[in-house]
Amino acid sequence: MSSRSFAIGLGSTPKRVLPGFGLSLGISLTFVSLMLLLPMTGLFGQLAGLSLAEYWAIITNERVVASYVVTIGAAAVAAIVNAAFGLLLAWVLVRYTFPGKRLLDALMDLPFALPTAVAGITLATLYSSNGWMGQLLEPLGLQVAYTWVGIALAMSFTSIPFVVRTVQPVLEDMPNEMDEAALTLGASDFTGFRRVILPHLWPALVTGTGLAFVRSLGEFGAIIFIAGNMPYETEITALMIFVRLQEYDYAGASAIASVVLFVSLALLLAINIWQGRFIKRLHGGHG
């Protein structure tokens, strides 16, 4: 802020001291245009060929709408579960020392490192009727594979690192005096956590959960194996796009994809804006 007003005060942009502006700008812009922006034109070109009525008919098709419900519902459940589980893991990893902590910490990145298809077939196998987990859970009346629970489970698996890895650094950086101030003022563990620590972690927790939710909405490889893909019941939206493509219905695929794309980008933008506001309040910015 101050450096900017300084530049304005001088009435000119400061001269660039370091070399490589032109080169790095050239590489970056070329790459972003060719790899990120140009492909989007294909999507809009395809959509332009559709009338509004056709577009509306495709995206409100009954089976597609059912897939929205399944996807959003499962992603919401997965996100909420991950918020709680991720917070617990981040807390334990930051606040306590215990044997195996390094291993637990390393394990947190597994879902990012493991290919989604591998996660998909593994979860499907584990939770099928004769899998290790399925054998335990089914007698209890909990069917996971080929139900929305399985979808939520797969989503939760692939997105848990988002919550842990966003909350963890914030908790690490939280000054010890916050705890101490709360304790000297007589707060119990629970009250102190609820009124001092949780609000401190809130922006990171919401951001992490939001990112996990966005990721879950688009997840494909980890889900299709465990989902069972029953029309109206366990079909996710990404699968609907995939099916349209296999039928060479590019227009239909594009229409549904545009909905997914719009929702993901809008959510990403919302998370960024919300985070910006919150941070502004905590770190100054008057008014």
Partner 1 sequence: MSIRLHEIGKHFGRTQALEPIDLDITEGELVGLLGPSGSGKTTLLRIIAGLETADNVAGARILFGERDVTHLHVRDRRIGFVFQHYALFRHMTVFDNVAFGLTVMPRKSRPSSGEIRSRVHRLLEMVKLEHMAHRYPAQLSGGQQQRVSLARALALRPDVLLLDEPFGALDAKVRQELRRWLRHLHDELNFTSLFVTHDQEEALELSDRVVVMSNGRIEQIDTPDELYRHPANRFVFEFLGDVNHLEGTVRNGVLTCGDARLAVDLADGPEELLLRPHELELAPSATQHAHLPVCVTAISPVGAEVRVELEADWLGEPWLATVSHADYERLHLTRGTRLYAAPRRWHRFPDERSKQAASTLEAVS
Partner 2 sequence: MQRIGDGVAVRRLLIGAAVVLAALFLLLPLVAIFAQAFARGIDVFWANVTNHYTLAAIQLTLFIAVLTIPVCLVFGVALAWLVTRFRFPGRRILQTLIDIPFAVSPVVAGLVYLLLYGRTGWLGSWLDGHDIQLMFAWPGILLVTIFVTCPFVARELIPLMQAQGSREEEAAVTLGAPGWTIFRRVTLPNIRWALLYGVILTNARAVGEFGAVSVVSGAIRGQTNTLPLHLEQLYQDYNTVGAFASASLLALIALLTLVAKAGLEWRAARREVHP
Spatial neighbors of 197 by CB under 8 A, at least 6 apart, are 174, 178, 179
| Segment 172 to 191, residues that bind partner 1, using CB under 8 A | 175, 177-178, 180-188, 191
The structure tokens listed for 236 are 């996710």
Q: How many C-beta atoms lie closer than 10 Å to residue 92's C-beta?
A: 13
Mark the segment that binds partner 2 (CB under 8 A) among 55-63, 111-119, 138-146, 277-285: 111-119
Backbone region of residue 18 per phi and psi (left: phi > 0; alpha: psi in -120 to 50; beta: other values)? beta
Q: Which two tokens stand for residue 12?
A: 């000119």
Q: Determine which residue in the list 196, 260, 263, 267 makes contact with partner 1, applying CB under 8 A.
A: 196
Locus of tokens 């495709």: 58
Nearer to partner 2, 108 or 167 (CB): 108
Q: Which does 15 bind (CB under 5 to 8 A by kind): partner 1, partner 2, none?
A: none
Q: In this structure, is the dihedral angle defined by the CA atoms of residues 116, 121, 122 and 126, taken in order, positive or negative?
A: positive
- Identity of the residue, 121 or 187, whose beta carbon is nearer to partner 1 in the bound complex: 187
Does position 8 interact with partner 2 (CB under 8 A)? The reply is no
Considering only 14, 22, 115, 284, the residue that binds partner 1 (CB under 8 A) is 284
Residue 200 touches which member of partner 2, partner 1, none, C-beta under 5-8 Å by kind: partner 1
88 neighbors 194 (Cβ within 8 angstroms):
no
Whether the CB-CB separation of 151 and 145 falls below 8 Å is answered with no
Residue closer to partner 2, measured from CB, 148 or 157: 157
**Counting contacts by CB under 8 A, is residue 195 touching partner 1?**
yes
Determine, following the binding rule CB under 8 A, whether residue 286 of this chain makes contact with partner 1. Answer: yes
Q: Which does 121 bind (CB under 5 to 8 A by kind): partner 2, partner 1, none?
A: partner 2
Residue placing its CB nearer to partner 2 in the complex, 20 or 284: 20
* Spatial distance between the Cα atoms of 67 and 235, rounded to a whole number of angstroms: 5
d(CA 79, CA 272) in angstroms, rounded, equals 18
SS3 20: coil
Member of 11, 115, 186, 284 binding partner 2 (CB under 8 A): 115
Which residues bind to partner 1, rule: CB under 8 A? 175, 177-178, 180-188, 191-192, 195-196, 199-200, 202, 281-286
